[in-house]
Amino acid sequence: MTILNGLALTRIPPEGEALRAEVRAFLQEAVKDIPAHIRAKSWSGYDPAFSRKLGEKGWLGMTFPKAYGGHEQGAFARYVVVEELLNFGAPVGSHWIAERQSAPLILKYGTEAQKQRYVPPVARGESFFCIGMSEPNAGSDLASVRTRAVPNDGGWLLNGQKIWTTNAEHCQYMIALVRTSGEPADRQKGLSQLIVDLSLPGVTVRPIEDMSGDRHFCEVFFDNVQLAPDALVGAEGQGWEQVTAELAYERSGPERLFSSVVLLDQWLAFVRSEAAPRADSIKLAGQILTRLAPLRALSVAVQEKLVQGQSPIVEAALVKDQGTVLEQFIPAAIADDLMAREGEGEAVPHALLLTLNYLTLVSPCYTLRGGTRSILRGMIARGLGLR
């Protein structure tokens, strides 16, 4: 049993920790005037000026080759920067997908020309990508996508629709998973990944408002969009394998643990300010800490495996499912704690309630993005040999 037995307590190596103090000092200044309920949006917070500042600091594309604008630093150095960004609730939404997924995908599967064209602006914090995977009626059943790109004299003619594409409204590009051959019944066969310039004629982006009032995900329509031949990333028909690898890397990072941490810190500050903290509040603080700390250790252990070149897909799913469950537990439990003060005549600060309300309304997405809970549990079951 290597899956449950193979994750040893380790630590972020000193070269990974080296930047933490500098990043933290920068962030303390950068977010000091942003209220907590706005910081709580973090990875859906769109702020291109902030992304450019991070690019100038060299904190984007940290692991990319220098030839493509990167800094050739270790994965743990990036881990520390991301962890600090999320903990401060910095608005990382504009560059988030491009830096975390799209540029690494292009570096792995793209042509030399694609790497030179697309990657350096991502590292500078100037070029933003979204991911076109889901479609209406496809949802988690990604292999059933119907959006189709047909080869023609000009390259590819694209028709169809994507949905739940985060920040598409603000992005220059989408990497779309589309059918380039065969039929939806062929499932994983015949899928490819294409880079779509969202400014092209025939592309329509329509934001969808979520129940918190935010407009971070979008519908994107393709009506006879003509793409150049070099829109294809990787090999025709290999889109499924490429997407599977891509998803594995985004499931165990700090972003699966700390989505509710701005609220946690704000609530802790409130409880610390009380004359006599309630025993229930102390216990809840401990409950969260004693669940979160082992998960952070697991996340670091999975990162260590990635650094060693292993592919801990199931381990990452174990961390993601637990992390997102905890991320959803935090606002629910904090609401319970705060409202247990009813009748005690003690006012809960309005600013704290604003953050709580935002996370309460947005937290359903934690167990949807990057694979629903049911999909992840199915992946774990497969890793255990049950299917």
List contacts with other proteins (CB under 8 A): 1, 3-5, 7-13, 83-84, 87, 258, 261, 264-265, 268, 271-272, 277, 279, 281-298, 300-301, 315, 318, 321-322, 374, 376-378, 380-381, 384-387
Of 233 and 380, which has the nearer Cβ to other proteins?
Answer: 380
User: Could you give the CA distance from residue 40 to residue 55 in angstroms, rounded to a whole number?
Assistant: 22
**Nearest approach, Cβ of 97 to other proteins (angstroms)?**
24
Considering the complex, what minimum distance in angstroms separates the CB of residue 244 from other proteins? 18
Least separation in angstroms between residue 264's CB and other proteins is 5
DSSP class of residue 347 equals P
Q: Which of 137, 161, 138, 136 is nearest to 148 (CA)?
A: 161
> Considering beta carbons, is residue 204 or 374 the nearer one to other proteins?
374
The Cα–Cα gap between 195 and 182 comes to 20
Sort 349 into a burial class: Cβ within 10 Å, 0-12 / 13-18 / 19+: middle
Nearer Cβ to other proteins (176/334): 334
Q: What letter represents residue 30's amino acid?
A: A
Judged by CB, which is closer to other proteins: 102, or 260?
A: 260
Least distance from other proteins to the Cβ atom of residue 177, Å: 25
- The nearer residue to other proteins, 148 or 320, going by C-beta atoms, is 320
Running DSSP on this structure, what letter comes out for residue 143? G
**Minimum distance from residue 175 beta carbon to other proteins (Å):** 29
Q: Which is nearer to other proteins, 220 or 261 (CB)?
A: 261
CB of 374: closest distance to other proteins in angstroms?
A: 7
Give the residue with the Cβ less far from other proteins, 236 or 265.
Answer: 265
Residue 269: CB minimum distance to other proteins, A: 9
Residue closest to 124 by CA, chosen among 174, 62, 171: 62
CA torsion, ordered 116, 119, 121, 124, to nearest 10 deg: -120
Structure tokens at 174: 């989408």
Nearer to other proteins, 20 or 189 (CB): 20
* Distance, CA of 256 to CA of 324 (rounded, Å): 6
Tell me the residue type at 175.
I
Q: Cα separation of 125 and 114, whole Å?
A: 17
Counting beta carbons within 10 angstroms of the beta carbon of residue 275, is it exposed (0 to 12), middle (13 to 18) or buried (19 or more)?
A: exposed
Cβ 133 to other proteins, closest distance in Å? 23
**Using H for helix, E for strand and C for coil, what is the string for 263-323?**
HHHHHHHHHHHCCCCCHHHHHHHHHHHHHHHHHHHHHHHHHHHHHCCCCCHHHHHHHHHHH
